[in-house]
Structure 1
Amino acid sequence: NISKLLAAYNGSSEIMGELFITPGPILKLQNFLGLGRVRELREQYDILESVGSKLMGERRVVVEERMKNGDNEDYCLLDVLVKAKDADGNPLPDADLWGDINDVMAAGHRTTASNFTVN
């Protein structure tokens, strides 16, 4: 799963770089028709969302089991996120968690890639 997730991040990052220099009208047409790099970006994002959702679900189960056994330690950022609650004390919806995880992964990926490029 992790390899698939990283491959999708790498692929989507490359595609976004190419789309950044594509004229707006062409992007709109590709988006409307589901063609070209826009279609490929959607496919990569679907992979990211599918694998990410599966990982979130698996981590929720692991964290719940650990908490039942008295282990409330947060071992990674995902532990913190799956234990987060809204103002009413309800767990955050998967869509919100996915948005946060996606932001962190994308930011980390771009920072690391930039660091390797500069150095």
Structure 2
Amino acid sequence: MCSFYTRSPADGGQFYYDRVNVSSPHHDGKMHTPYPPSTGDLIHLWDFVKKQGGTYEVIARQWLHSSYGSTNWPVLEQQPTVGPLLELIVEPAEGVLRDQALRPEDEEETQ
């Protein structure tokens, strides 16, 4: 399960972190996926609560695995009942074609 947080600058070199509530059939605001994005990946997110979204770059990831004997991994169970949790920090980004230049023939057509 992935939780996303947008990072924006605050005073004094610190940051604000705001949760992105991703729509899912689990209604928990998290993305349930076997293929979480890696640091540096671009991902489009839509916050269904704030009704806003865009393209973001993953800048940091933090994993949390269940401990044996915890609520999420009961004693005598072979594996946890809840998979690892992943928190991802993202910043607004432009798409992969952000540095695309117009070809000279394309510029002539727009004039």
Whichever structure has more strand as a proportion of its residues is: 2
Task: Pick the structure with greater CA Rg.
Answer: 2
TM-score by length of 1: 0.23
TM-score by length of 2: 0.24
Greater relative contact order (Cα 8 A, min sep 6): structure 1 or 2? 2
